[in-house]
Structure 1
């Protein structure tokens, strides 16, 4: 993805997130919009008109790889030519010039600054729907021998700190270690959501908090594994920031 497309995609993500926004009521949302101003017709990447129930707000959003004072003046003229409570948003790379940042802040223009990623895609494993399944028959027999009946035996619920032991009581792995193994082995970009059932070649055990049954036998661990591109900022998050800054600017 080129640098320019990063900002264009971010604007597209913001636009797509508008459909799910419930904090305010959307009146109109347009992509590649043409807007009628007081003196001229203007084109912008996104036009969003919404109301909080009392006031109607208008937001125009534009992607720009770089922002100069000249481009900021041009954008400001568009913002001021549209009647009503209008906020301008420019999605761009970080701006370091104080005069540009000050002018934007005073004029009611949000500079939404994004850092271009160092790599096109960075995939990270996401684990969900974890089930740690014990050997029920083994546990039942161990509880009967200890005279515990139906008493529950508590284990550590946090996978990161749940360790796995062999028959001699030696720590051989952890639940988090199992997750990490699959996260490293998979071909990340090509994989969709998958359900993993991890079994063990030898008998392994989990430590408990019970004095009479300090270990219980582990059967398998099942979990969902998905890879997420961490260079993609959720449109919902960006839209929320735009909305909050718009309402604050107009004294909501």
Structure 2
């Protein structure tokens, strides 16, 4: 549960800013969450809930606190209470919208879904994100990447494709193209996979370089494979990404042993 609260604090403080009509600023919110988190992590769940409810009474327009209470109940297995609090938060935002630093109104379900996604509870994330009100509230183009990623993790490749295809032109990092490549790769469509890996590489996506290197090896072109993987290894070392370094080194060793 500590991970959930950390995500809430980070997202609220760094991504969304302060709720427009709230009596509580982001620093005060962090203090509340620190106190609640400390008690919850000690196993004093009822005390943590009680503390949070007191802060909600002091700050009755704070939609985020209400949503956190719903997620706490969910973690405790109290599904009815969780649904009640989260649905009340959704209703509250009609009167007390969640306004970010950019002045736009965001759906509290976006925050809830992202928090669950960060906790790798993908079904719950998809449940809330799929209900976002796009007509009256901002969700940003990034919602397509988030929904694509969720559907990919939940093994819904066709749904994932739809969202990534809506977003990839706006994806500066090339992650959408890389995942599209991975989807086609998994399906055995090597030609389409290569097309999307190359698009991602145009945006200097390191993962795509690794994936394309592996694909070249599958196609029997070990020369191209090793060239690309060694280039990727050099880049991974520059950014000190130990996980990617290990993956690339293992791939290179396997390909070299087959030469």
- TM-score normalized with structure 2 length: 0.29
Larger helix fraction of residues = 2
Normalising by structure 1, what TM-score? 0.29
Higher alpha-carbon Rg: 1
Structure with more relative contact order (C-alpha pairs < 8 Å, separation 6 or more):
1
More strand by share: 1
